[in-house]
Structures are given as structure tokens and as C-alpha cells.
Amino acid sequence: MASSTAMKSCKVGLLSLQCSRAVGVSTIRSFTTQLTDEQASIRAMVQKFTTEQLKPNAQKLDLEGRFPFCQIKQLTHLGLMGATVDEDYGGLGLDYLSLAIAVEELSRGCASTGMILSIHNFLYANLVNEKGTPEQKDIFLREFTRGGSIGCFALSEPDAGSDVASIRMTATPDGDNWILNGKKSWVTSAIEGSATAVFATFDPQLRHKGLACFLVPLDAEGVFRGKKEPLMSVRAATACDLRLEQVRVPREYMVGELGEGFKIAMDQLDQGRIGIAAHAVGIAQAALDTAINYAKERVAFGKCLSRLPSVKDRLTDMSIMVESARLLTYRAATDVSTKNSATAKYVASRAAAAAADHCVQILGGRGLSINYDAERLYRDARGTQIYGGVTDIQKRLIGHYLLKEHDAL
């Protein structure tokens, strides 16, 4: 747990942040890398928390594959589990860029914690906040911003990952309820979560036009959580299958209108890619930090590694990749679109993987040891090219919307 002094300091910073809320409108033509006072305050607060609470525990959490309950509880106290949620429902009412900055800084210290916060906010809390009814927000949002409950996003299935229109989970009307049957895969935080957004088809023949979105309590009768999936990256986070058997959901728990499920999923994935891009930038920055700190101290051939041309070139490449990925992520967070978010995720995930590879190479033998951060960062970076949409699909999305902008389809 955080010391009372540290927690008090973070809370004072948060109070100051709430009292000095800056209001502005970001557009593509006014995009700037200059952070507002609010965003700078968020960064400083999260950096302090990461330095004091995440970095000292990240390796142990990873090695033990232990969910960071303590750290998530502290983030709840700081309001970051409802970062962009309306204040009426317990959130901070921040913008997407502020949330992306928080995810980046958390991931810089512990990629697992950064990912948990990212998915809870971008894919679940934002969905309920922006598309839910007042009644849905009372049930599925208030406790998820300040009460410690964690939200999930159940879209992928054993035979429907990138191809969302192939979803097989069925939704059958039954009076004032819907009956859900099927299986979801790779549901992050479902083992610890309290509710999830579930996407199901009410008419498979309609493909993407036959999808609907439902909010489902994870303790509902007929919901079965699978075992934790052992992963090579973000090991302190969890992912498992969800099986729904004759799960009865009130009609009032359906988000939006019948047939809007596909659009809702795509809207959230546009946001989710921003979160994963920020997550990847944090990992890439951690790899650069680790490599520089090691290169400054390690002596070879009579001089510090940082003075060797080959090492200097690697560090330079890492810096260029990190800064480029950060700029694209900020752009995506301030001008949300499928093309921008796909571009940010594509570049940031590749940058993280490349930076982590350089980091391992610079550390040499120590880079392969589990006693050093480089090995963990290498594994964590690889995952960013998979979850939230594989890089192959992101590249196709970028090309599609590029040609669409130029009437070239």
C-alpha cells in the first residue's frame, strides 16, 4: 500500500487539478504537442505514483503473475478508473489525451497495470458513459469509477477475432428479456471484473447489421469464467474465456438500438487503439530509459557503452521511434478517427517491439535475465502488436481510409 504521505500528496495534486480545469477544443488544424496545465498535472501525478508504487513492484507482479489489486485500488482513489467519465457519475471528466498520458506513464512502470486501466476506461467505462442510459449508468458506471469494480469488453470469440461480423454468440428475445448463449475469448480482467459489455447476434444472416450490445453482470446466473490464460506478456493482467448459458438480460441492459452493436464496437475499438498505442509508448519509453541508464554505467573497451558508436546509434533510433509514436498517439487522442487510431497503434506497437529489442541487445547477457527489466519489456512489447487489433489489420485500415479520403477506392 502507498504511504499515507504519498497518497495525501497524490490527492492534493488531484484536488488542485480539479480546481484548475482547463477547457479547450482540439481539432486537426490546431493540434499541438504543448500540454495544457491540466494534462501536465495529470502527467506529474501519475509519474509520481508510478515511481513510488509501480516500478518497485512490477517485476514481482510479473514473475508471480499476480493481479495488481492494491495498485488498482489506489488508482480508484485517485479517480483514474473513471478518468473521462462525467463527474455526475464519479469520474474526473478529463479528455482522451489526459487518459492516454496516464496510460503511458503507468505502462512505463508496469505494463500490466497500464493495460488494465486502459481497457477498463477506453473500452468499458467510456462506452457506458457515452452511450448508456441514465439507468444503465447508475447500475454499470458509478461503482466502476469510485467503488473499485472493474469493467470488461467481450467482443472476440474462438472463431471471430478481427472478423467481428462472424460473431456467433446469440441474443434471443424472450418477453422483457434477452437470452444470451455463446462463448467469448480473451476477455481482459474478466476473472476480477464485475460486469462486461457483450456483443451478440440476433440474426446471423444479417452479419454486422445483426449485432447488439448488452451490459452483463459477471455474477449473473449462467455466466461461467474460464481459467486464467497463461501469457508471455503483461503477466500481472488476466485474460480468460467467458461462457454464457441461457443468461437472462433485461431489455433495459441493451446499449443503443437493435442492430447498432457493430457501430458501437467499432467506435470503442477506435478508442481502445488509442489506449494500446499509449500503453506501447510507455513500454518503449521504459526500454529507452533502461538502455540509457545501463549504457551510462557499463564500461567496455575503456569507455562507457553510451560512447560507443553502435550503442549510440541504437539509442538514437530508439529515441526517434518513441517520439514519433508519442506524437501519433497524441494526434489520435485529440482527433479520434479509425485512421488516426490505427496509425497510432500500428506505429507505437512496432516502436515498442523494436525499442525493447534494442534494449535487450544493449544489455547483452543481462538483457536475457529475468533479474533485469529488459527481458520483461521485450515480452510486454510483443503483446502490443496483437491485442487491441493485430498490426496486419491496422495496416489494412490505414490503407482503406487513406484511399477513401482520396476517392480512390
Domains and CATH numbers, the chain: 4-145 (1.10.540.10), 151-262 (2.40.110.10), 264-405 (1.20.140.10)
**AA letter at 143:** E
Backbone region of residue 295 per phi and psi (left: phi > 0; alpha: psi in -120 to 50; beta: other values): alpha
pLDDT tens column, 94-135? 999 999 999 999 999 999 999 999 999 999 999 999 999 999
pTM: 0.92
For position 20, what pLDDT does the model report? 46
pLDDT tens column, 274-294? 999 999 999 999 999 999 999
pLDDT tens column, 224-245? 999 999 999 999 999 999 999 9
Q: Are 90 and 142 in contact (CB under 8 A)?
A: yes
Residue tagged 489525451 (cell numbers): 97
Q: Are 355 and 316 in contact (CB under 8 A)?
A: no
Task: Give the integer Cα–Cα distance in Å for 264 and 261.
Answer: 5
pLDDT tens column, 298-354? 998 888 999 999 999 999 999 999 999 999 999 999 999 999 999 999 999 999 999
Confidence of residue 4 (pLDDT cuts 50, 70, 90): low
Q: Is residue 25 predicted with pLDDT exceeding 90?
A: no
Q: In whole numbers, what is the pLDDT of the chain averaged over residues?
A: 93
